[in-house]
Chains A and B, each alone.
Chain A
């Protein structure tokens, strides 16, 4: 390739207008320079030519960049001028985009926090988790297969023996809310996270002020009464003062000294939890008295699994090697603990457990349930944004079509089509960027509104991180390009001659615009229908859940939870204490009936054990276990659950009487089909312990824990019999009238009779059930909002296209009227057009809706994804909205004055 040809190639780095203007000159000058350089002496000529090339190449990038920037600034100035010339359109466009981009950003930012964001700790990718990141709470007993949580002893074994981890830490999987005095003030509730002393060292988070627990070995119980408080607590209760170090946090059974404050960006290792303070695990006896959770008690098979265990991998180690090593240690611990069980089958079952190691860059997650709904909502918000962009794109296309003569003139004067396309895209990008900036600001508010739609506000960091900003940037860019695409395509298809002949009416392009506009409207209708169907399905699901038959009337029922073990009661005293309290509660004015149970109603806990049933041979694993609850006298009559045969548990079923149980009808159908269950026996087994109960009654099925799913087989035992061995109960109270005064009165009775026994939860059952529905409520409310907005946007698009169509046919309509066409005929003519558009949109939308409904099938309750009523209502709603949007253009068409129309130009 010759030198000038090579230089010609380099000139392509400059923008086309600059190239067209100065390219020949530049080529000529460069060629002349090289020619003059070659005239020098031979050796010098080579150096001179090389110097010319070096100069050209060195200056290429900065000068090309300058010229591109110049063209961009020109386009930007032009775009701003055009947009300022129509402030109304610009405002509506920016507002629509801001709402659409803001909604999508708000939902994505929540998704980012819930699923994607890594912990703000040192090298999060080298952290691993030995437990299930979604597990929470406390599980007492055993677990087969992959372990969800670990015991304190198992953590210590892992920490001491590991060679693949540079450090390991444990943290309680749930926060513990206790009453505490901060610096001697009035008691208030604080949320505590119990952690190993290696916690902050392992995650790599230093104290903002003061210090953390260091990296010392785990201390003896009660020997480290220290606390690291959160930044939020420090600001809220201590005014952000440095003299917080050394202050006291006093609980009922002990005091702790503040030794440090965590940085503001660290909220703990579990997404969705926000502890007020971190305390060493060794302080458990002070925080939760009576809970022997720091020990795997020898001689029993009751392990208390309540900790998440994290480790930081050494540079040379991998997750697989850490897992292999940890499982060796884990199995050794299991063998020590369960190895002495006499029953080999039971022993094998207990030994069949293992640890699974997962990457822990995202930490543990208390909000994983929210991920799927958020993805669904993001899809809905994305559809709404798409529909809004279609509307705006149509409007931009209409504006461009109206300027077709201007475009043709510019083309005739030598403007390149590429330049015009770029100017149009710059206009649409300006709109999108303005919408994106406003949308980002709106996202903060929308995000907070989303969080407040949930009854228990999610505790999430307030900042938007780089991933969210990138999302906004990409979304804005895509929106801008989509908006400009239709007008840009229009421009590239404008023949110069045709455009110059246009007399300012834009007729040359209007037919094409109408065609495209109609296609866009059909698309908008098609996209709106899945949103409306989804909204209908989720709204009806919410109603079905709210009306779900629990098997008893939930209205009016109150539940009050107390914990005797935390109050320091001996096991032998606990049952009597509960019976005494029940008697006192029943005597409270306004209490009609009352009872209690171990797990309460919709409190989030349940019991389950292996069972054998007299005369029944198990057919599979589902027949070997059952959920159960220990209940007080009059449990079923208090709730209003009908006894089908036999009797319920009464006050006579006490410690001295024969062990009895009541079963639900599903249990009777499954295990006693064709037999009368009364008098037969159910044996409950746990390791080497077993208790046999005589069935004394069968009750109707009811729900104590879950609203969804089939009701499982279940049995109930008397809470006051020794086999139950319960340490906490939930009192269930049905007031005689308005229960407003009953709850405070019950609290006072408990406080007076048993001052040490704290009320851990007091709530109306209706409210407890309502809290379970917070996610479904959020989904229903937001999807209704999306559906309504989408339908309105589609209607606006339809109105715009039809209005333009009517305006374009003014002469034709005038002629028809002059020839005798009646109003009704003209209206019918326009409505028929709509009918075709609507039909096309509904057919396409129906197919989309059927597919989209399958995506949310798992969230539905009481209806199928193809529910015909919901589809029918959504179709009808969209049709009504579309026809309403058609009415005005049709009416205007019917009112055209023939004389005016025939003069119309």
Chain B
């Protein structure tokens, strides 16, 4: 069972999410990763359209840690990995809720555009 959100967490206050933040949350949604793995996942998932530089990634990571959207793991999630230098990050309940809210927001936008005839039913 995923941890509950604290009553004071206002998910809507984070919207709209910056692109880099959304992609990092998506990358961490299915598994915990270190920084470079996040960069690789984002690149692969978007077919190379979105590539995060180290500066962009870690600046976003610092902000997301402060905001409680992600957390740093004390131990590597992959005990078999010999790479102890790398720091691993995991999405928090708040992060998951915020990512979900952003996805819903974008979906709503897409529906409105379809309803207005701006884009066809199937892109």
Contacts and interface: CB of A to CB of B under 8 A. Distances in A.
B86 interface: yes
B62 A21 contact: yes
Given A25-B87, A28-B86, A60 B35 contact: no
B36 A59 contact: no
A67 B59 contact: yes
Contact of A29 (B36, B62, B63): B36
By secondary structure, the A interface counts as helix
Contact of A63 (B59, B85, B86): B59
B53 interface: yes
A500 B18 CA distance: 44
Contacts of B39: 29, 33
Contact of B53 (A14, A21, A56, A66): A56
B42 interface: no
Nearest to A13: B55
A30 interface: yes
Contacts, number: 58
A254 to B, nearest CB: 73
B87 A60 contact: no
B58 A59 contact: no
A32 interface: yes
A123 B55 CA distance: 47
A64 interface: yes
Contacts of B59: 18, 63, 66-67
Contacts of B87: 25
B58 A26 contact: yes
B56 interface: yes
B21 interface: no
B57 A29 contact: yes
Given A28-B85, A55-B51, A22 B36 contact: no
A30 B62 contact: no
A318 interface: no
B85 A24 contact: yes
A66 B20 CA distance: 14
Contacts of A36: 40
B27 interface: no
B61 interface: yes
Interface in A5-47: 14, 18, 21-22, 24-30, 32-33, 36
Contact of A22 (B40, B53, B58, B85): B58
A56 B86 contact: no
A27 B58 CA distance: 11
Contacts of B85: 24, 28
Interface string A44-80: 0000000110011011100110110010000000000
Interface in B11-57: 34-36, 39-40, 51, 53-57
B69 to A, nearest CB: 16
A14 B39 CA distance: 20
B61 to A, nearest CB: 7
Nearest to B34: A25
Contacts of B56: 59, 63
A197 to B, nearest CB: 64
By secondary structure, the B interface counts as helix
B55 A64 contact: yes
Interface residues of A, number: 26
A55 B48 CA distance: 13
B36 A63 contact: no
B62 A67 contact: yes
B29 to A, nearest CB: 20
A22 B86 contact: no
A52 B54 CA distance: 10
B36, B39, B61, B87 pick with most chain A CB within 10 angstroms: B36
Given A32-B36, A33-B36, A25 B55 contact: no
B55 A59 contact: yes
Given A32-B36, A33-B39, A26 B54 contact: yes
A161 to B, nearest CB: 68
A329 B55 CA distance: 71
Contacts of A22: 58, 61-62
Given A32-B36, A33-B36, A26 B62 contact: no
A145 to B, nearest CB: 70
A27, A28, A36 pick with most chain B CB within 10 angstroms: A28
B86 A25 contact: yes
B48 to A, nearest CB: 10
B84 to A, nearest CB: 12
A154 to B, nearest CB: 71
A29 B36 CA distance: 5
Given A18-B62, A22-B61, A63 B55 contact: yes
B35 A29 contact: yes
Contacts of B57: 29
A25 B54 CA distance: 8
B17 to A, nearest CB: 16
Nearest to B83: A28
Interface in B56-88: 56-59, 61-63, 85-87
A189 B103 CA distance: 76
A76 B36 CA distance: 33
A25, A66, A70 pick with most chain B CB within 10 angstroms: A25
A55 B58 contact: no
A14 B86 CA distance: 20
A27 B55 CA distance: 10
B51 to A, nearest CB: 6
A25 B35 contact: yes
A871 B57 CA distance: 69
Nearest to A24: B85
Interface string B86-110: 1100000000000000000000000
26 contacts: A14-B55, A18-B58, A18-B59, A21-B62, A25-B34, A25-B35, A25-B54, A26-B35, A27-B54, A29-B35, A29-B36, A29-B39, A29-B54, A29-B58, A32-B36, A51-B51, A52-B53, A55-B51, A58-B53, A59-B53, A59-B55, A63-B53, A66-B59, A67-B59, A67-B62, A70-B62
Given A14-B55, A63-B56, A70-B62, 6 more contacts: A18-B59, A25-B86, A29-B39, A29-B57, A56-B55, A59-B56
5 pairs of A and B residues whose beta carbons are closest in the complex:
A63-B55, A26-B54, A29-B36, A22-B58, A59-B53
